[in-house]
Structure 1
Amino acid sequence: MSNIFQGAHDFQVDKLKIEVTNISSSSSGIGPLKDLEHHIAAEALHDSAERCDAPKCHPETRVAVQDDLYGWIENGDVDNPSNMKWVTGPAGTGKTAVMGSLSDRCKKNGLPVTSFFFSSAGSNGRRTKTAFVTTIAHQIAQHRQDLKDAIASAIEADTIVFKRNLDVQMETLVLAPLRTIVGGPNARLRLS
Structure 2
Amino acid sequence: PAAFHDSQERDPPPRCLEGTRIAILKDIYDWISTSNEQILWVSGPVGSGKSAVAQTVAEACAQDKILAGSFFFLHGAQGRDTPDRLVASISYQIVTKIPEKRKELGILIERDLSILHKPLLFQFQNLVIPLFDTTPKIPVTSSCPPKPFLVILDGLDECADEKKEQDVVRCIGDILNASLIPLRFIIVSRTELHIRRSFDRLTSKVHNINIHTSYFPKFNSKEDNDIRTYLRHEFNRIYDEHELNEEEYWPNNHTMEKLIASSGGIFIYASTIIGYVGDPDFHPVERLNEILNNNTPLKSTPFSELDHLYRRILRLHKDQELLLCVLTVL
TM range (shorter): 0.5 to 0.7
Match of 1:112 in 2: 67
Change (3 A) 1:112 1:139: same
Q: What is the aligned-residue RMSD (CA, Å)?
A: 2.3
Match of 2:129 in 1: 175
1:43 maps to amino acid = A
Match of 1:56 in 2: 15
Conserved? CA contact 1:76–1:82, under 8 Å: no
- For residue 71 of structure 1, the aligned residue among 17, 30, 54 is 30
Once the 2 structures are TM-superposed, how far is the Cα of residue 113 of structure 1 from its aligned partner? 4.5
Conserved? CA contact 1:146–1:181, under 8 Å: no
Match of 1:46 in 2: 5
Change (3 A) 1:186 1:153: farther
Change (3 A) 1:189 1:124: farther
Q: Any idea what the Cα deviations from partners look like across 1:40-94, whole Å, max 9, x if unmatched?
A: xx11000111111332111111112112222333x231xxx11121111111111
The separation in 2 between residues aligned to 1:54 and 1:185, in whole angstroms, is 36
Match of 2:45, SS state, is: coil
Once the 2 structures are TM-superposed, how far is the Cα of residue 118 of structure 1 from its aligned partner? 0.3
What does 1:1-192 align with in structure 2 at a 5 Å threshold? 42-73=1-32, 75-77=33-35, 81-121=36-76, 123-178=77-132, 180-184=133-137, 186=139, 189-190=146-147, 191=149
Give the 4+ runs in structure 1 shifted more than 4 A: none
Q: Any idea what the Cα deviations from partners look like across 1:143-164, whole Å, max 9, x if unmatched?
A: 0134334423322333321121
Match of 2:46, SS state, is: coil
- Normalising by structure 2, we get a TM-score of 0.40
The separation in 2 between residues aligned to 1:117 and 1:53, in whole angstroms, is 14
The separation in 2 between residues aligned to 1:182 and 1:167, in whole angstroms, is 21
- Aligned residue pair count: 145
Match of 1:119, SS state, is: coil
The separation in 1 between residues aligned to 2:146 and 2:125, in whole angstroms, is 16
Change (3 A) 1:165 1:102: same
Match of 2:61, SS state, is: helix
Change (3 A) 1:142 1:95: same
Once the 2 structures are TM-superposed, how far is the Cα of residue 136 of structure 1 from its aligned partner? 0.7
Match of 1:19 in 2: none
Conserved? CA contact 2:138–2:146, under 8 Å: no
Unaligned runs of 5+ in 2: 151-330
Unaligned runs of 5+ in 1: 1-41
Match of 1:182, SS state, is: coil
The percent of aligned pairs where both chains have the same amino acid is: 30
